[in-house]
Amino acid sequence: MRIDAHQHFWLYEPVKDAWISEEMALIQRNFLPNDIGQTLKDNQIDGVVAVQADQSLRENEFLLELASAYKLIKGIVGWVDLRSESVEEQLEKYQQAPLIKGFRHVIEGEEDPDFLHRDAFLRGIAALTKYGYTYDLLIRPRHYASTLHCVAANPEQVFMLDHIAKPPIKSQAFDEWASFITELAAFPNVHCKLSGLATEADWKHWKLDHFTQYIDHVVACFGKERLVFGSDWPVCLLAGSYEDSMRIVQDKLQDFTADELAGFWGNNAVKFYKLS
């Protein structure tokens, strides 16, 4: 099965979706599965993982409603407040919704560099482990140290690094990010999405070789069995087409075997998120 492990859907609301700035006016509209269905078929993608774009319990219900209507949604990465004293009660409830495979918090929006190793958050991660949920990491450089602390403190929790930690592709800066990736990939419970890359580059003037050093480093550090493909659609449209998002990574997979390619384009995501 070929899987796009990172897609978003929303009914656009200016207040709820205030993160979609005027610079991103292209995606200030509704995006639903019907808008991507034919493109997925054209690119032989069999299904997607829908990832939260709004930090609310309403978001989970919205994605579950979509999944009940559109079979292309094979799994959901939702949202709960992991710092809540009632987090276990909420996770218990979601046991009745098997399409919810894991959760994510928009850490990149948190100014606190220690957010991921505050006691309340760590208790939430422990609850995810107890209930068998995955956790997607969406971070910025200020969170590198607390990410490593969080992962080290939770060896039984499986983590997925979104967007290869958003490296500074536009400036081609490398060393700080590369050092972090080397340390993070040493933890075998962390996997990595090759996703959201074009939007970290110059939206209008990127070239394929702008991504080479970043993708090569991720492959070298994580190996091929812990990597998955994600488009970050529709956000990726800010910097190119859906096919561009595929082409950016396709170009760097020349030494993958047929089995390794099948893993990258779907089987690794199926295993990580327990899709069916």
Q: Is 18 left (phi over 0), alpha (psi -120 to 50) or beta?
A: alpha
The predicted structure's pLDDT at residue 122: 97
* CB of 202 closer than 8 Å to CB of 170: yes
Phi, psi of 262 (to 5 degrees): -60, -35
User: How many CB atoms lie under 10 A from the CB of residue 30?
Assistant: 13
Sign of CA dihedral 254, 258, 3, 136: negative
267: Cβ–Cβ under 8 A, 6 or more apart, which residues? Answer: 1
The predicted structure's pLDDT at residue 60: 98
The predicted structure's pLDDT at residue 200: 97
Q: Look up the domain containing 220 and give its range.
A: 3-273
Phi, psi of 177 (to 5 degrees): -60, -45
Phi, psi of 101 (to 5 degrees): -100, -25
Rounded CA gap, 273 and 268, in Å? 9
What's 125's domain CATH number?
3.20.20.140
250: Cβ–Cβ under 8 A, 6 or more apart, which residues? Answer: none
* CB of 149 closer than 8 Å to CB of 155: no
Tokens matching residue 110: 């948190």
Rounded CA gap, 157 and 166, in Å? 22
Query: pTM for the full model?
Result: 0.97
- List average pLDDT for each run of 10 residues in the chain, which is 276 residues long: 98 95 96 98 98 97 98 98 97 97 97 96 98 98 98 98 98 98 98 97 97 98 98 98 97 94 98 96
Question: What is the DSSP code (8-state) at residue 31?
Answer: B
Q: State the burial class of residue 1 (Cβ atoms within 10 Å of its Cβ: 0-12, 13-18, 19+).
A: middle
First to last CA, the chain: 9
The predicted structure's pLDDT at residue 251: 85
21: Cβ–Cβ under 8 A, 6 or more apart, which residues? Answer: none
Number of domains the chain contains: 1
